Amino acid sequence: MIPIAAGARIWIATGHTDMRKGMQGLALLVQEGLGRDPFAGDVFVFRGRAGTLIKALWHDGVGLSLYAKRLDRGRFIWPATVDGVVSLTAAQMSYLLEAIDWRNPQHSWRPQSAG
């Protein structure tokens, strides 16, 4: 899990991104494409075209970190907008990383009785 500092903002880059990009390419995309500072301590999350791979870019004050997660089954839930960014809370980011619909989380099963 990414150790997100309190107060750090999490941004989803909407649309799909070329997942061949590394740290420098994604940082340049944040700076020029999204108009944000990639070194401000915020987390920027990108998704590939297929929806099974995400990359998160984060600067912790010392250096850039690049985290990647690929799903064996299913897809990551992504906003429908094409361009821009969407802000997430840390809880929504946790749902996203677990491939749970972060827009409307629901229990998949709840026990009916204790015995």
What are the structural domain ranges in the chain? 10-97
> Can you give the pLDDT at residue 39?
93
Torsion of CA 9, 10, 13, 15, to 10 degrees: -140
**Residue 101, burial from CB neighbour count under 10 angstroms (0-12, 13-18, 19+):** exposed
Dump pLDDT digits (tens) for 42-64: 999 999 998 899 999 999 888 99
* Rounded distance between C-alpha atoms, residue 76 and residue 69, angstroms: 10
pLDDT tens, position by position, 66-101: 999 998 888 888 877 766 788 888 888 888 888 777
- pTM of this prediction? 0.81
Residue 78, helix vs strand vs coil: coil
The H-or-E segment that residue 96 falls in is: helix 90-97
| Pairwise CA distance, residues 86 & 82, whole Å | 11
